[in-house]
């Protein structure tokens, strides 16, 4: 395994497919720092050299980086900006490889694989890969810019697609606003449809599971993002069987890149379908988006894709399982996709084909909610609920170990009896009885799983627990938010208690990273991406848990049932976009709601 460069102490700015990564003092050079565009580092070094007092200001857009430089007291000297580019691909940067500079083409530009940048600087001369100005006055200003190009045109900035609600609680406001800002920064488009790229800097592209959960957690304010995500993924939905890419008819892809991705012996094709959960999750998102107000004509256009996704989901014998048949793909194909994520208590890795517990709950929800959706549009399919009922019975027989759902069942039918956060995803999907859900909720809230910053991925009581592992003891904000969302309907107080921990997990500026260490003190995970789309959406979702908000636009019903007692005390929320209008809520001893016309409000 390669040693990935640290990201937790770096400043990362995203604009479309462009990323600026600097040290805390805004230096560029070494490690993962640099300017990336389209998954390629177009500048690996930026040094400003001048004997005077220097102030710099950089601005990043989807197509350029501009740096303004002010020099005081440098008359008679020279200002030099030293640039370099290694044109490294994102997988090379992630591997920790040191930059090896590439000579520029004249006058000053770099390009490889159709991606590159052109540097211009009025009044400067080019010396090698440096820009040089002669300073003739005590107060001197200069500007240089790097303009990016990407011949593939694969993705473009989508601009602002999520509108931020406001809230009167300062910390909640900081986290929600930052979550919306990060979602908008990560919003890309395939030319027609907006979606959230998974995260920066490694995953700045369409990822089935990640993009779906980002849109789903932020609903209803992410409705445009949900619609774009659904359409973008439907355009890539599998049509044939191809073992090399894991494509299958009806299957939703895992990720889309400009070319093959190679790291640690893994080689993923540009369009890769190695995910077991994106397909049922796509169906769940379509149902949720419809309930949040996606117009009927847009839903109807997606019904063929829904039927194909449900056919894929229902077509598995017993459980939804995965296996990498190439030997160079992902060995694990759920959200915990690191090689050691699915292990027995003695540390032995589970053998494929593997059935994950949460994936069965996604399948059950997809089948039942998909059936509801088809009923509503006059195209009923009774077989979907029948298949869901069989899955429910089979799950009960195969997964329960000592009063808790196993993490997975391996290829021999043996349950992987680890106590993990995955079980939280099962609640509210219909896979469990209410009594079983209560058992799961009680177990999740014990301190070996529930820490001060959210749910640990694996119980501290496990022999293989490691708080700084990727998936075996760390804490992921999106995972915590999914469980809080799952508990909201029937366990609102518990849901709010879990969601509130995300306010502590966020940094002082409100940003939630990809993951944190699972310790009892806030411990950054060294190579954690930020911003990360589903983490950003997790921050937004805290507001929904504290409001107890549930919307059903087709039925024109709005429920606002905050947990009692109020965890943060009385507060107000406004500017929540809903059904072409805006929703405002004041929560205190009573609940006051100002909703768009025509809604029945239930409190």
pLDDT band for 1, please (50, 70, 90 cuts): low
pLDDT value of residue 75: 85
pLDDT value of residue 112: 95
Take residue 137 and report the two structure tokens written for it: 């006055």
Tell me how far apart the 2 most distant CA atoms of the chain are, in Å. 83
Expressed as residue numbers, the domain containing 210 is 156-587
pLDDT digits (tens, 9 = 90+) for 202-235: 999 999 999 999 999 999 999 999 999 999 999 9
pLDDT digits (tens, 9 = 90+) for 508-531: 999 999 999 999 999 999 999 999
- For 390, residues 6+ apart whose C-beta sits below 8 A from its C-beta are none
Residue 221's CATH number:
1.50.10.10
Q: Say whether both 130 and 186 belong to one domain.
A: no
Mean pLDDT of the chain: 97
Take residue 201 and report the two structure tokens written for it: 């800097």
For 138-154, letters b (16+ CB in 10 Å) and e give: eebebebbbbbbbeeeb
pLDDT band for 81, please (50, 70, 90 cuts): very high
pLDDT value of residue 155: 87
Residue 45 in 3-state DSSP? strand
Q: Say whether both 306 and 380 belong to one domain.
A: yes
Tokens 């209410």 belong to which residue?
Answer: 434
d(CA 586, CA 169): 12
Q: Which of 133-142, 214-223, 370-379 shows the lowest mean pLDDT across its residues? A: 133-142
Q: Which helix or strand (DSSP H or E) is residue 224 part of? A: helix 223-235
Which of 150, 171, 195 finishes a domain?
150
Q: Say whether both 51 and 170 belong to one domain.
A: no
**Spacing of C-alpha 165 from chain mean position:** 20
Percent of the chain scored above 70 by pLDDT? 100
- Per-residue pLDDT, averaged over 334-340, amounts to 97
pLDDT band for 277, please (50, 70, 90 cuts): very high
Q: Is the pLDDT confidence value at 98 over 90?
A: no
pLDDT digits (tens, 9 = 90+) for 402-428: 999 999 999 999 999 999 999 999 999
Total domains in the fold of the chain: 2
Q: Say whether both 103 and 226 belong to one domain.
A: no
DSSP code of residue 201: T
pLDDT band for 390, please (50, 70, 90 cuts): very high
Q: Cα angle at 233 between 232 and 239, to 5 degrees?
A: 125
d(CA 195, CA 537): 13
Q: Say whether both 145 and 160 belong to one domain.
A: no
Contacts 24+ apart (CB under 8 A), 594-601: 595/558, 598/556, 599/556, 599/557, 599/558, 600/556, 600/557, 600/558, 601/558, 601/559, 601/560
Q: Is the pLDDT confidence value at 79 over 70?
A: yes
- Whether residue 551 lies inside any domain: the answer is yes
- Whether residue 38 lies inside any domain: the answer is yes
Q: Say whether both 172 and 119 belong to one domain.
A: no
Residue 97 or 387, more confident: 387
pLDDT value of residue 340: 96
Q: What is the pTM assigned to this prediction?
A: 0.97
- For 29, residues 6+ apart whose C-beta sits below 8 A from its C-beta are 44, 45, 46, 47, 84
Q: Is the pLDDT confidence value at 2 over 70?
A: no
Q: Say whether both 190 and 110 belong to one domain.
A: no
- Whether residue 603 lies inside any domain: the answer is no
Listed residue (83, 45, 52) closest to 70, CA to CA = 52
- Whether residue 598 lies inside any domain: the answer is no
pLDDT digits (tens, 9 = 90+) for 13-66: 999 999 999 999 999 999 999 999 999 999 999 999 999 899 999 999 999 999
The residue ranges of DSSP E strands in 450-521, in sequence order, are 450-451, 454-455
pLDDT value of residue 154: 84
- Per-residue pLDDT, averaged over 95-114, amounts to 94
Q: Which of 152-156, 536-540, 564-568 shows the lowest mean pLDDT across its residues? A: 152-156
Which of 119, 150, 181 finishes a domain?
150
- Whether residue 417 lies inside any domain: the answer is yes
- Whether residue 305 lies inside any domain: the answer is yes
d(CA 218, CA 227): 13
Q: Say whether both 119 and 173 belong to one domain.
A: no
Q: Say whether both 486 and 502 belong to one domain.
A: yes
- Contact status, residue 324 vs residue 312, Cβ threshold 8 Å: no
Listed residue (452, 476, 472) closest to 463, CA to CA = 472
- Per-residue pLDDT, averaged over 441-445, amounts to 98
Q: Say whether both 168 and 81 belong to one domain.
A: no
Q: Say whether both 392 and 415 belong to one domain.
A: yes
pLDDT digits (tens, 9 = 90+) for 450-483: 999 999 999 999 999 999 999 999 999 999 999 9
- Whether residue 446 lies inside any domain: the answer is yes
- Whether residue 595 lies inside any domain: the answer is no
Q: Say whether both 67 and 212 belong to one domain.
A: no
- Per-residue pLDDT, averaged over 489-507, amounts to 98
């Amino acid at each position: 395994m390669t040693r990935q460069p640290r990201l937790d102490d770096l400043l990362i700015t995203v604009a479309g497919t462009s990323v600026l990564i600097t040290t805390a003092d805004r230096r560029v050079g070494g490690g993962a720092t640099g300017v990336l565009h389209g998954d390629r580092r177009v500048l690996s070094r930026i040094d400003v050299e001048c004997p005077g007092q220097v102030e710099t200001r950089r601005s990043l857009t989807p197509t350029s980086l501009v740096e303004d430089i002010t020099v005081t007291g440098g008359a008679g000297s020279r200002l030099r900006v030293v640039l370099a580019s290694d044109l490294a691909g994102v997988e090379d940067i992630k591997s920790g490889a040191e930059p090896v500079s590439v000579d520029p083409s004249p006058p000053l530009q770099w390009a490889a694989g159709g991606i590159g940048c052109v540097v211009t600087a009025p009044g400067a001369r080019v010396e090698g890969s440096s820009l040089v100005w002669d300073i003739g006055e005590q107060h001197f200003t200069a500007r240089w810019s790097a303009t990016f190009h990407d011949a593939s045109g694969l993705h473009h900035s989508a601009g602002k697609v999520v509108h931020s609600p406001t809230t009167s609680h300062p910390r909640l406001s900081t986290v929600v606003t930052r979550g919306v800002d990060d979602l908008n920064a990560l919003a890309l488009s395939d030319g027609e449809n907006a979606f959230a790229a998974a995260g920066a800097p490694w995953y700045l592209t369409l990822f089935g599971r990640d993009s779906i959960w980002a849109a789903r957690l932020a609903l209803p304010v992410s409705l445009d993002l949900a619609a774009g995500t659904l359409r973008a993924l439907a355009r890539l939905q599998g049509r044939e069987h191809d073992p090399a890419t894991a494509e299958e008819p009806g299957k939703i892809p895992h990720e889309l890149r400009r070319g093959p991705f190679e790291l640690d012996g893994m080689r993923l094709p540009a369009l890769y379908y190695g995910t077991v959960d994106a397909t049922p999750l796509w169906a769940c998102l379509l149902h949720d988006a419809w309930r949040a107000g996606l117009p009927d004509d847009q839903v109807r256009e997606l019904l063929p894709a829904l039927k194909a996704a449900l056919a894929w989901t229902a077509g598995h014998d017993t459980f939804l399982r995965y296996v990498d048949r190439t030997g160079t793909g992902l060995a694990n194909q759920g959200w915990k996709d690191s090689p050691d994520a699915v292990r027995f208590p003695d540390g032995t890795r589970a053998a494929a084909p593997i059935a994950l517990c949460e994936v069965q709950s996604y399948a059950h929800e997809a089948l039942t909610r998909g059936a509801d959706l088809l009923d509503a549009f006059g195209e009923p399919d009774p077989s979907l609920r029948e298949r869901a009922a069989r899955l429910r019975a089979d799950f009960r027989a195969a997964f329960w170990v000592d009063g808790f759902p196993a993490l997975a069942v391996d290829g021999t039918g043996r349950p992987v009896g680890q106590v993990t956060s995955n079980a939280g995803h099962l609640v509210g999907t219909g896979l469990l009885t209410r009594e079983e859900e209560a058992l799961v909720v009680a177990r999740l809230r014990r301190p070996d799983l529930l820490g001060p910053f959210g749910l640990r991925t694996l119980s501290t009581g496990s022999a293989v627990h490691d708080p700084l592992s990727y998936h075996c003891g760390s804490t992921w904000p999106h995972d915590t938010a999914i469980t809080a969302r799952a508990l909201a309907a029937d366990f609102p107080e518990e849901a709010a208690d879990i969601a509130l921990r995300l306010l502590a997990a966020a940094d002082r500026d409100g940003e939630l990273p990809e993951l944190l260490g699972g310790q009892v003190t806030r411990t950054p995970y060294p190579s954690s991406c930020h911003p990360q789309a589903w983490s950003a959406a997790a921050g937004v979702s805290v507001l929904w848990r504290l409001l107890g908000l549930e919307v059903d636009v087709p039925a024109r019903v709005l429920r606002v049932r905050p947990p009692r007692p109020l965890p943060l005390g009385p507060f107000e929320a406004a500017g929540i976009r809903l059904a072409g209008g805006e929703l405002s809520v004041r929560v205190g001893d009573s609940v006051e709601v100002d909703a768009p016309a025509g809604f029945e409000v239930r409190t």
